[in-house]
Amino acid sequence: MTKDGFVQAATPHSLIALADLPDGAVRSAEGEVDGIPEPLIVVREGGTVRAFLNVCPHAGRRLDWSPGNFLIDQGRLVCAAHGATFERMSGHCVAGPCRGDSLREVPVVQADGWVVLSKSAVVADGA
């Protein structure tokens, strides 16, 4: 992990080493989604890993208060801008100004000890 909180990837589509994503962790990463570099949130619970765009459905702001530093309340992810509260593993907003919306999930797979963007995330529809 770099000192600004971002993760250096092993390949262009690798987001984070599983060793740097302990059970219960929320980390930031960057990846190319549909051909566009995007800030991402990567979460883990046991053997399950998910990733979401780091873009709040309320006003399009990043959720972290500084790069890689997220507010967590009772296991839920809280947007630092206006307090929308999301279930960590589903990305569903359960409280705040965008209640009922969800973070956009980005498909990932685990490969060789890394969390990697799946091919469907990297290639835009129709490409």
Shortest separation between residue 95's beta carbon and ligand FES, angstroms: 10
Contact 48/59 with Cβ under 8 angstroms?
no
Note whether 77 binds ligand FES by CB under 6 A.
no
Contact 109/118 with Cβ under 8 angstroms?
yes
Window 49-68: contact mask with ligand FES (x via CB under 6 A)? -------x-xx-x-------
Strand partners, 110: 115
Bridge-based pairing state of the strands 26-33 and 36-45 = antiparallel
What is d(CA 7, CA 26) in angstroms, rounded to the nearest whole number?
Answer: 12
Note whether 79 binds ligand FES by CB under 6 A.
yes
| One residue of 71, 81, 109, 123 binding ligand FES per CB under 6 A | 81
Report the residue number, 12 or 83, with the smaller CB distance to ligand FES.
83
Note whether 97 binds ligand FES by CB under 6 A.
yes
Contact 49/41 with Cβ under 8 angstroms?
no
| One residue of 24, 45, 66, 82 binding ligand FES per CB under 6 A | 82
What is d(CA 100, CA 53) in angstroms, rounded to the nearest whole number?
Answer: 17
Shortest separation between residue 78's beta carbon and ligand FES, angstroms: 9
Q: What residues make contact with ligand FES under the rule CB under 6 A?
A: 56, 58-59, 61, 79, 81-84, 96-97
